[in-house]
Amino acid sequence: MGEEQIIFYFFAASVLISALCVVVMKNLVRSIFLFFVSLFSLAALYLFALADFIALAQVVIYAGGVLVLMLFAFMLSNRELLNSLKPAGSGFKVNHFAGILISLLFLFILVTVIVKTDLNQLDWMQESVPIHVNDNSTHQIGIHTMTAYLLPFEILSVFLMMVLIGAAHLARKGGRA
């Protein structure tokens, strides 16, 4: 096993472990800092995939902007509001069933589309060319972002949506949480 593989596996394990800790941890500040680790490790994996622009955008936009905003929103928020957030009751409600049903339906549709799509037959996928180390044109970055790196790009957009939902939830000052 070469040095590059060891470094790659280190960053891949770092992404997986820190993302798991973000989900499991009860302390919000530690979760936010572990989310930093996860995003920086993901940027390192993008560098291994020769997606320098995506890695830079990952660090600047997500780690540099969104997470710092989350930290400031948490630090400046009303402490009593955060303490008043209690875990939901352990009972199963009709709302949970509807959410689970919609999630499973969406997962089924997503898996069906992925399985039935032959990526090698798509015209825009056949037109993409491999990235070379010295290739820095914006045109190629756009083509590769929407072809070979579409899944990581969409995963980042889901992270951004989760950040916005979390920030809206923390900023809400209504009587119910």
| 32-62: burial string, b at 16+ Cβ within 10 Å, e else | bbbbbbbbbbbbbbbeeeebbbbbebbbeeb
pTM beyond 0.85: the answer is no
Q: What pLDDT, on a 0 to 100 scale, did the predictor assign at position 87?
A: 60
Domain presence at residue 144: yes
User: Is pLDDT of 71 > 80?
Assistant: no
Please check whether residue 78 lies inside any domain of the structure: yes
Q: For residue 80, is pLDDT > 60?
A: no
Q: Please give the distance of CA 140 from its chain centroid, rounded to a whole number.
A: 23
The Cα 148–Cα 130 span in angstroms is 9
Per-residue confidence (pLDDT) for residue 151, from 0 to 100: 84
Mean pLDDT across 27-41: 84
Report pLDDT for 35: 86
Higher pLDDT residue, 41 or 125? 41
Residue 177 resides in a domain? no
CATH of the domain at 11: 1.20.120
The more confident residue out of 93 and 46 is: 46
Residue 176, in any domain of the structure: no
In a domain, 158, yes or no: yes
Q: Which of 9, 18, 2 is nearest to 44 (CA)?
A: 9
Q: For residue 35, is it within any domain?
A: yes
| Count: domains in the chain | 1
Strands, E assignment, the chain: none
pLDDT tens sequence across 109-163: 988 988 888 777 777 666 666 666 665 556 777 787 788 888 888 888 888 788 7
- Domain of residue 135 covers 3-171
> What is residue 18's predicted lDDT score, i.e. its pLDDT?
92
For position 16, what pLDDT does the model report?
Answer: 93
**Which is more confidently placed, 82 or 122?**
122
Confidence of residue 86 (pLDDT cuts 50, 70, 90): low
Asked if the structure places residue 126 within a domain, the reply is yes
Of residues 166 and 36, more confidence is placed in: 36
Is the residue at 20 inside a domain? Answer: yes
